[in-house]
Amino acid sequence: MDELNPKSGPDDPQNPYHVSQASRIYFLPNLMTAGNLFCGFVAVIHCIQARLAETTGGGYLGHTPAEHYRSAVWFILGAAAFDTLDGRLARMGGRESLFGAEFDSLADVISFGIAPALMMFFLILSPTQGYEAFRNIGWFLGFVYLLCAAIRLARFNVITNPLLHRDKHDSNKDFVGLPVPAAAATVAALVLFLLHLAENDKSLQRWALALPPLMGLIAILMVSTIRYPSGKHVDMQTKTHLMPFVALMVFIAAVVLFKEIALLCATLGYIFFGIIRHLRRRHRIKAAPHSL
């Protein structure tokens, strides 16, 4: 953690934690955050338009409900890309600020909280066309996801505040709990996969039964203490071996050719990687005293 400059007092405007410095708006990082917010807002619009297309039965603005949901998915994934860029640009240019952190979290609530929750509610837990068992609790399941996403973001802002003193364990570069962009990307990838499956029989609701249990698991993981890799250590200076580089190229090609399956496998793989690694660490800790 950076310490306050001993030559500058708390009222010195050059102090990095002075209100004038903490609230400074750096153009490029916050432009990326604005792009994140824009994508989330458009994703919400597409979810609403998809619902209108379902109620009219003949589409809305010339597009079917599935096309609107598919557009919402891509805008959520676009928001995740902007969210990755804003933090990296801020760290690369040394332009991190408390304002940027708060602005980023507010945008994330829209893009990775409200947009996936609406998508789940309208697509899966429809109050008029969905399954009877979900009609009365669909709104509650969506709210639980949104609540956990907001709590996860608030906790992240607290534990990463530069004014807090952290020990070595708390300084770990891993995320504590499933990050909300990964959670939203998982929901988006599953919806994209379900839309792909439903293209043949047009029965979207039948395939969509898999989403509510996954939403519950994702909500729990966001507020858990399971650690997930952040990738913050990867930059322009990062070196790698040949095989991991080839594997990455193969994965990118798979995403291009089989995007529905590859994206779902990648997001679910990230989720269960954290769970498995957490269980293995707990097993090693329990076994350590017996090995002495």
- Beta strand spans in the chain (E): 175-176, 227-228
pTM (whole model) above 0.85: no
Distance (Å, whole) CA 169 – CA 151: 21
pLDDT at 237: 59
pLDDT at 289: 62
User: Is the C-alpha dihedral spanning 233, 161, 145, 275 positive or negative?
Assistant: positive
Please report, rounded to a whole number, the percentage of residues in the chain having pLDDT higher than 70. 69
Assigned domain for 12 exists? no
pLDDT at 263: 87
Polymer length in residues for the chain = 292
DSSP state of 179: -
Give pLDDT tens digits for 24-36: 666 788 889 999 9
Burial 144-153 (b: 16+ CB within 10 A, else e): bbbebbbebb
Assigned domain for 1 exists? no
Across residues 260-280, what is the average pLDDT?
A: 89
Tokens (6 digits) for 168: 């070595």
CA end-to-end distance (rounded Å), the chain: 35
Assigned domain for 184 exists? yes
pLDDT at 175: 87
**H-helix or E-strand spanning residue 109:** helix 98-109
Q: How many domains, in total, are found in the chain? A: 1
Distance (Å, whole) CA 215 – CA 187: 7
Distance (Å, whole) CA 66 – CA 69: 5
pLDDT at residue 163 tops 60: yes
Strand, coil or helix: 136: coil
CATH of the domain at 123: 1.20.120.1760
- Among the residue ranges 101-110, 125-134, 153-162, the one predicted with the least confidence is 125-134
pLDDT at residue 221 tops 70: yes
User: Residue 150: pLDDT band by 50, 70, 90 thresholds?
Assistant: very high
pLDDT at 291: 53
User: Residue 133: pLDDT band by 50, 70, 90 thresholds?
Assistant: low
pLDDT at residue 284 tops 90: no
Across residues 149-178, what is the average pLDDT?
A: 78
* Best mean pLDDT range from 201-210, 226-235, 266-275: 266-275
Residue 91 sits in which domain range?
19-233
Assigned domain for 34 exists? yes
pLDDT at 1: 35
Across residues 97-107, what is the average pLDDT?
A: 85
The percent of the chain in helix, strand and coil, each rounded to the nearest 5, is 70, 0, 30
Assigned domain for 78 exists? yes
pLDDT at residue 193 tops 60: yes
Assigned domain for 275 exists? no
Q: What are phi and psi of 17, to 5 degrees?
A: -110, 10
pLDDT at 166: 63
pLDDT at residue 15 tops 70: no
Q: Which has the closest alpha carbon to 86: 43, 35, 124, 52?
A: 35
Across residues 49-76, what is the average pLDDT?
A: 84
Assigned domain for 255 exists? no
Q: What is the mean pLDDT of the chain?
A: 78
Strand, coil or helix: 175: strand
Tokens (6 digits) for 198: 């439903």
pLDDT at residue 117 tops 60: yes
User: Residue 54: pLDDT band by 50, 70, 90 thresholds?
Assistant: confident
Cβ partners under 8 Å of residue 254, min gap 6: 261, 262
Helices (H) and strands (E) in the chain, counts: 12, 2
Assigned domain for 238 exists? no
pLDDT at 259: 79
User: Is the C-alpha dihedral spanning 222, 226, 232, 238 positive or negative?
Assistant: negative
